[in-house]
Amino acid sequence: MKRVGFYTLGCKVNYAESACIAAMFQQHDFELTSEPGEADVWIINTCSVTENADRECRQLIRRIHRKAPDAFVIVTGCYAQLQPERVASLEGVDAVLGSREKSEIFELISEFKRRDVPLIAVSPHNQLDHFWLADSSGFGERTRAFLKIQDGCDYNCSFCVIPQARGTSRSEPVDNVIIRARSLIERGYKEIVLTGVNVGDYGRKIGGSLYDLLCKLDELEGLQRLRISSIEPNLLTDEIIKLVAHSEKICPHFHIPLQSGSDTVLARMRRRYKSVLYRDRVETILSYIPHAGIGVDVIVGFPGETEREFEETYRFLSDLPVSYFHVFSYSVRQNTPAASMGGVVSPQERERRSRTLRALGVMKRRRWIARYIGDQVSVLLEGDYTDDGAFMHGFTPNYMRVRLPAQRKLENEIVTARIVGLLGDVAQGTFCPSEDEVLIPQVNL
């Protein structure tokens, strides 16, 4: 039997799509492997959100070719879509498939034999209107399934290349999403994570909304947890927040990109809100759901960002009652308006600002976790163990990572634990003393 291996970089949408590609190969009698030297075919599903992501893709291609020189290597994803010729020029690459073509591998490739001239099949970005409903079932993750409901983006943020890589915003009809969600529940998944490039834009072009979909999913029998991935602040409505507040299934966790706390920087970024709206969204969430977990994405060193504007961002985040940050240094992306802006911030200064915000983020996360010491929480345990195998990890509904003594029989179970301390930025927990209590879901977090 032939074997196929996968490397997936970037977002949860890529992860869900890689899982569907894996299922296609299994239907064609391929066996999955994670060992580089064992695979006859390697699929590299790439990201291109930053220059570091591009560099990581190139390094990965070279590493696979060294370890598996006879393997047929397919490179797909955003980097392949945006720079197909450059990808094809790398030694070891046999096929470069664009964002649309990743779902058509067996239509495009009749046999997986090394090629002297790589196949390049990449549709123009204005033709990326196909929706491929994907989920991550059967691909590594056993506890949480990432279910793609939306693709592409109609926003024109000045720094972002993703609309060129993914095309315009499009959504899968509610009925199709419900069918896939039911299938995931039947296969034993305890949590479904709704993913997309711009999830909050779900349904706009097909006469629906994310709120409508959430209401339908909230009614599904057997569903234990439903989580929304990253959502734009201007698309996070009061009705969504109130629905989450009253639901026993939708996790009280919101990951909301900020990018900057300075309104002048937000304007140059072409973001669709000002800092006052962002603060209002956070305050509204906490007024209805005091225990909600709130994550933030922020970019430092955007072209023209002055020290004063950076300090505005620092003060804004310092005062904001959020749970954790993801901090990114600005990365130049070809063919974006920001790439030609003046006022370039030096790499050294970008790194300094990044370190400063990350330190603030660590402090925020630790303070957030410390609030729950002594409380009972609900934890979905994953196959995520410490190197010595003594502890395992899981997440609460509000996305607090908890470390507990390893009990493999409880993997993929929702258990009750008590938070007893803090180790770095991870909550330390113990199982509740009663065996009966251990498996009683608690939704207080």
pLDDT of residue 441: 38
In a domain, 273, yes or no: yes
The answer to whether residue 229 is domain-embedded is: yes
Residue reference for tokens 């493999």:
408
- Is there a contact between 113 and 72 (Cβ–Cβ < 8 Å)? yes
Q: How many CB atoms lie within 10 A of CB 162?
A: 20
Highest averaged pLDDT of the listed ranges 10-19, 34-43, 104-113, 266-275 = 266-275
Whether residue 80 sits in one domain with residue 146: no
Query: Any idea what the CATH number is for the domain that residue 179 is in?
Result: 3.30.750.210
Q: Does residue 326 sit within a domain? A: yes
- The predicted pLDDT at position 141 comes to 57
How many folded domains does the chain comprise? 4
Q: What is the pLDDT of residue 175?
A: 95
Cα angle, residue 421 at apex, residues 225 and 248 outer, rounded to 5°: 20
Same domain, 138 and 245: yes
Q: What is the pLDDT of residues 142-193, one digit of tens each?
A: 678 999 999 999 999 999 999 999 999 999 999 999 999 999 999 999 999 9
Report the distance separating Cα 319 and Cα 324, nearest Å.
13
Q: Per-residue pLDDT tens for 404-441?
A: 999 989 999 999 999 999 998 899 999 986 544 443 33
- Tell me, yes or no, if the pTM score tops 0.85: yes
**Any domain includes 443:** no
CATH number where 338 lies: 3.30.750.200
From 321, 354, 371, the end of a domain falls on: 371
Share above pLDDT 70 across residues of the chain, in percent, rounded to a whole number:
96
Torsion from C-alpha of 61, 64, 70, 76, nearest 10 degrees: -40
Among 312, 343, 371, which residue terminates a domain? 371
Range of 298's domain?
A: 256-371
Q: What is the structure's pLDDT at 140? A: 56
